[in-house]
Structure 1
Amino acid sequence: MTHVVTESCIRCKYTDCVDVCPVDCFREGPNMLVIDPDECIDCAVCIPECPVNAIYAEEDVPADQIAFIKLNTELSHAAGWKSITKRKPAPPDADEWKDKTGKLSELIR
């Protein structure tokens, strides 16, 4: 089992979660983070750190977010999506995006 970053992270990309990850399983894209399922050890320490509640255990991913399970796998292995291990400042407009839904079209791969 692994953990999954869902739509809430798109255009928010708060990185509080990466500071607590013991195995460095987060990958950073232009406007979202994902979890590499090959690296995640299912420790769950990242879940309470996410200020937008974007991280779920795979078995708890909401039905309307199931596509993000495959998306995390795909993007964590995509060229250019590198490991992120230290917190960075959130994008300047992150607070404007944090409560929005339907953001999949905003994802930059």
Structure 2
Amino acid sequence: MAHVVAEPCFDCKYTDCVVVCPVDCFYEGAQMLYISPDECIDCEACVPECPVEAIFHEDNLPDEWKDFTALNAEMTPTCPVINEKKDALETESCDQSRKKG
């Protein structure tokens, strides 16, 4: 089992989560981050670090975001590893997601 980055990360890309990951299983796409299901050790260190609450254990992923499990698996081989904090995208949708949390 693994954790999954879901919809709230889209157009945000806060990277608070990547610096606490002990196995560097985060990958950076153009619009969001992804977690490699083959590398995630299920430690949950990333979950409380996400300011928009975009990271879920795959068993607890809301139904409307179930497709993100496959998307994370599909995208990680095509994206670079990210393990250092970067500036978030700070788009309007990102700002709205953060205000909800």
TM-score, structure 2 as length reference: 0.91
| Cα distance between partner residues in 2 of 1:55 and 1:74 | 17
What residue number does 1:82 align with? 80
Do the aligned residues in 1 keep the contact of 2:11 with 2:93 (CA within 8 Å)?
A: yes
What residue number does 1:5 align with? 5
Aligned amino acid, residue 7 of structure 1:
E
TM alignment of 1:1-109, pairs within 5 A:
1-78=1-78, 81-93=79-91, 96-98=92-94, 99=96
* Structure 2 residues without counterparts, runs of 5 or longer: none
Q: Which has the higher helix share?
A: 2
Percent identity, aligned pairs only, is 52
| Cα distance between partner residues in 2 of 1:92 and 1:26 | 19
Q: After TM superposition, what 4+ stretches of structure 1 lie above 6 angstroms from structure 2? A: none
Q: State the aligned residue count.
A: 96
* Structure 1 residues without counterparts, runs of 5 or longer: 101-109
| Cα distance between partner residues in 2 of 1:91 and 1:73 | 23
